[in-house]
Amino acid sequence: MEINLKKWALADEWMTTDQLATITKTSRSYWDKARDRGDGPAYTLVGNRPRYNRSAVEAWLIARTIRSTSERRS
């Protein structure tokens, strides 16, 4: 398998848990627990550290968009 470096994801497209917490104004603990529960955005382990692809996070957030309180999940 050959990797096309022009299409390879740029380093700034991958976020650490701390960066994700900062841009979503949540805590690192929230994302640690979401990973444990399996209900957060997809992530990739680099060594033993999770990295989140920006487009995967955006897709996850969009999928969770709520238009009214009657749509909220319990």
Q: Is residue 1 part of a domain?
A: no
The pLDDT tens digits for 9-21 are 666 689 999 999 9
> What is the number of domains present in the chain?
1
CB atoms within 10 A of CB 41: 21
pTM: 0.76
Which ranges of 1-74 does DSSP label H, i.e. alpha helix?
Answer: 17-24, 28-37, 54-63
Distance (Å) of CA 53 to CA 9, 43, 45, 73: 9, 7, 11, 25
Q: Is residue 16 part of a domain?
A: yes
Q: Is residue 32 part of a domain?
A: yes
Q: Is residue 69 part of a domain?
A: no
List the domain range (segments joined by +) for residue 57.
11-63
The pLDDT tens digits for 45-62 are 999 999 999 989 999 999
Q: Is residue 3 part of a domain?
A: no
